[in-house]
Amino acid sequence: MVDSGRAGVALWIALVVPSSFVVHKYGGSAGAIAYALVAAAAVARAPELPARVSDRTVFRFALITLVLVAAVFAVVYPIVDARAPGAGSDDDNTLDLGASALLAGRFPYAQTTYLGNHLHHLAGAFVLAAPFAALGASALQNVFWIPMFFVAVWVETRDSRRALELAWLVLALSPAVIHDIVTGTGYASNAIAVVLGLWWLTRTRHRDLAAAAWGVALASRANFLLLVPIACGWLREHVGPHAALRAAAIVGATVALLTVPFYLHDPQGFTPLEAADRLLRFDTLAPHLGGALIASTAALAVALSFGAMDAAALFRRCAWVQAFPVAAGLALSCVQEQRLTLWYARYAAWFAWFALMALAAGGSLKRHETARRELVDEREQIGL
């Protein structure tokens, strides 16, 4: 499954960290440790499909996997979606309310979920959820975006077997993904939409359209906006500074169109601003500590926008930018509460899917380079 020890560690982190909160919540510290060890062993010894398996058979396995995931969602989600405290999540209700308000031309942030929580998503999240909400539930987006991620891995690696093996590994070893599917939580689908938007932007000739689409995905949560400098760095290197500036302008305009009007409509009622409390809460430990973390993350994003980047480096640097506040939040939460607490790990989905795409892109580059060298050696042997 993985080509090196470092890749194996990265894969283990991408699988385990986002799930550690869920496992610790239900299994305690002993369960979390056992899970981490089992995941490490599984990553190290993950079985692979035999090379003789045909693409048609792989496609059939993939289709069966998708049907099973859809069946789990169809059976479990209605049970979990009890709309009561302690049962499921109100994240899907947030997206349903926001999407419905947008479709009806209403201000989305005047509502609260059935748990009394304000809507903290930016409007891009409601735009992404709207087609699924129109079909009956925004929770359906997980059944769409998660398979789409592995389709993109297939395209990136040109290896359907590896894409399917990775999908099986994620479904088997990432309880956070299963939790998102059965509760309708949009963490995975939100992160994947941003990952795939960037992936499309770096591969297509229709860059203006891709930049606008990525802008919609970025306008879902403020932390994703910090990825723009890194994307511009990649575009500046590979397609030129003019194209990078144009893409940045389109992304910025799209984000502004989806954000500024709602803020101007009711600055006091613009509840996404409350999401900053996830970092500003640490001001109780030291004055302005939360603001310093935000500024440090932004500085890291700008620093990582310089230097040569292939596709793997692009997604890896995006993962680092999204991982930094999560790592800081985990450490500071434990200090603040003076005990082991992993609730901040639920935000690790923001970096995990970037890390998985980086592994796919890096593995693809290695295999293509190996194939190229073998072809060159063969030509030299026959005197071409």
55: confidence class by pLDDT, cuts 50, 70, 90: confident
Predicted pLDDT at 271: 93
Predicted pLDDT at 2: 61
Element (H, E) at 188: helix 187-201
pLDDT digits (tens, 9 = 90+) for 352-384: 999 999 999 987 434 444 444 443 444 444 444
Joined together, the tokens standing for residue 337 give 């509460």
Mean pLDDT value of segment 164-193? 94
Q: Rounded CA gap, 173 and 148, in Å?
A: 19
Predicted pLDDT at 47: 75
Kindly report whether the global pTM for this prediction surpasses the value 0.75.
yes
Q: Rounded CA gap, 213 and 201, in Å?
A: 9
* CA neighbours closer than 13 Å in the CB half-sphere of residue 189: 27
Dihedral of CA atoms 188, 316, 310, 154 in degrees, nearest 10, equals -40
Q: What share of the chain is helix, strand, coil (3-state, %, to 5)?
A: 80, 0, 20
Given a cut of 60, whether residue 86 has pLDDT beyond it is no
Residue 179 CB contacts under 8 Å (≥ 6 apart), including other chains: 19, 22, 185
Q: Rounded CA gap, 80 and 185, in Å?
A: 11
Predicted pLDDT at 366: 43
Predicted pLDDT at 109: 95
Mean pLDDT value of segment 239-260? 96
Query: What number of helices (H) and strands (E) belong to the chain?
Result: 15, 0
Predicted pLDDT at 131: 95
Highest mean pLDDT among 1-15, 65-79, 352-366: 65-79
Tell me whether residue 303 is exposed, middle or buried, using C-beta atoms within 10 angstroms of its C-beta: 0 to 12, 13 to 18, 19 or more: middle
pLDDT digits (tens, 9 = 90+) for 261-315: 999 999 999 999 988 888 898 999 999 999 999 999 999 999 999 999 999 999 9
84: confidence class by pLDDT, cuts 50, 70, 90: low
**Closest to 201 in 3D by CA, of 221, 222, 231:** 231
